[in-house]
Amino acid sequence: MFATGVTIVTARGPDGAPVGLTASSFNSVALTPPLVLWSMAHQTSSLPVFNQCTHYAIHVLTVQQRELAERFATRGIDRWAGVAWQPSAQGVPLIEGVAAVFECANRSQYVEGDHTIFVGQVEHCSHRPDASPLLYHGGMFYTEHPLGRLSPTVARPLHK
């Protein structure tokens, strides 16, 4: 019952090939230094790449990218076919047209049960303020339905 956004996390494998997967487990951790987290199931084929890589990128998807969200969670296909991307300064594939991107150093990993929690240190980030988010809730995709701004008297999380 917890609604989330949807991200695609990308990295470059040791053979130079781009890898990526859809992840809704993304969240913010800290502002100083800027840290974010996401978690990956151990059965995921790209786990060894993310265990080893120095950098990865977390892309926050727009409502127009639902097909991309499903594609990067589908096995046995070329996920990158026809996807517009550019390498970052560290060679990480950056997908174009997303709502936001966090370029992260692969700071720490915590094995917990059948998942590994990755904590990334954000080195660069950018966003499109006009983008409508892709949301995920109970096995369904949604987009925003604004209810109004947070009251100014409410203590909000510093990083959200």
Ligand X SMILES: Cc1cc2nc3c(=O)[nH]c(=O)nc-3n(C[C@H](O)[C@H](O)[C@H](O)COP(=O)(O)O)c2cc1C
Contacting residues toward ligand X, per CB under 6 A:
6, 21-25, 39-41, 44-46, 69, 72-73, 75, 136
Nearer to ligand X, 69 or 94 (CB): 69
Burial class from Cβ neighbours inside 10 Å (0-12, 13-18, 19+) for residue 35 reads: middle
Nearest to 119 by CA among 134, 132, 131, 106: 106
DSSP H stretches of helix in the chain = 47-52, 66-71
Nearer to ligand X, 32 or 64 (CB): 64
Question: From the CB of 121, what's the least distance to ligand X, in Å?
Answer: 19
Question: From the CB of 152, what's the least distance to ligand X, in Å?
Answer: 33
Nearer to ligand X, 113 or 152 (CB): 113
Nearer to ligand X, 43 or 151 (CB): 43
Q: Say if residues 130 and 138 touch (Cβ distance below 8 Å).
A: no
Question: From the CB of 89, what's the least distance to ligand X, in Å?
Answer: 26
Nearest to 105 by CA among 120, 116, 88: 120
